[in-house]
Chain A
Amino acid sequence: NAGVTQTPKFQVLKTGQSMTLQCAQDMNHEYMSWYRQDPGMGLRLIHYSVGAGITDQGEVPNGYNVSRSTTEDFPLRLLSAAPSQTSVYFCASRGPGGTSGNTIYFGEGSWLTVV
């Protein structure tokens, strides 16, 4: 059981380039989300999805796009990378039972540097 898998682990981008961070989970979870973690800022929610075909914005969505064509995959797209998007990105999924407090499982993170 792989859990939540993120790729790539590390990436360096030039300003203005676009890229996609991949996230896949094999637990059949409906809820998936993307966070970014910056020093002194904690984890902040970028986008989330409650099921295939349904996505919504979190706290810091600007500059990012998401889609959810399957239950397993939730890619995060950076449209035109900026140095302010240098961060560690975490994908997460939540177990069944809706919002009643089930465990959130995190991936191992993707370290992104924009130069």
Chain B
Amino acid sequence: SQKIEQNSEALNIQEGKTATLTCNYTNYSPAYLQWYRQDPGRGPVFLLLIRENEKEKRKERLKVTFDTTLKQSLFHITASQPADSATYLCALVRGSQGNLIFGKGTKLSVKP
């Protein structure tokens, strides 16, 4: 069956460093992948989408890569700030209706 895994439940880093989160998937070849941010007690918020023919996508301090050979996406936050502390979810599209399947998320904590 299709599986999507975010390899760390939690990641702690120091302010100013680059946070790197990993998303791996198996038994699947998605047309695109998305990353979401979720704060405690809130719904997920869309951050970035990257398509299978794109190697890299950037938005301000965020960068996403997509390696379809490795079946892996990396999500980077450069110059991290305490306000970046949240849970980050990756999601893949499945099926003709475009439903998303989500990883379990990585909880990022940025310490001042």
Contact = CB atoms under 8 A, between A and B. Distances in A.
B44 A90 contact: yes
| Residue from A42, A94, A98 whose CB has the most chain B CB atoms within 10 Å | A42
Nearest to B9: A40
B99 A43 contact: no
Interface stretch (A11-19, A75-83, A106-114): A106-114
B43 A42 contact: no
A45 B101 contact: yes
B27 interface: no
B100 interface: yes
Given A43-B102, A45-B99, A101-B31, A109 B43 contact: yes
B99 A33 contact: yes
Nearest to A109: B43
A109 B41 contact: yes
B93 A99 contact: yes
B96 A99 contact: yes
B34 A101 contact: yes
Interface string B19-57: 000000000000110100000011111100101000000
Given A101-B32, A109-B41, A56 B97 contact: yes
Interface string A63-95: 000000000000000000000000000101010
24 contacts: A31-B98, A40-B104, A42-B103, A43-B44, A43-B91, A44-B102, A45-B100, A45-B101, A48-B97, A50-B97, A90-B43, A90-B44, A99-B96, A99-B98, A101-B32, A101-B49, A101-B98, A103-B46, A103-B49, A104-B34, A104-B46, A106-B43, A108-B42, A109-B41
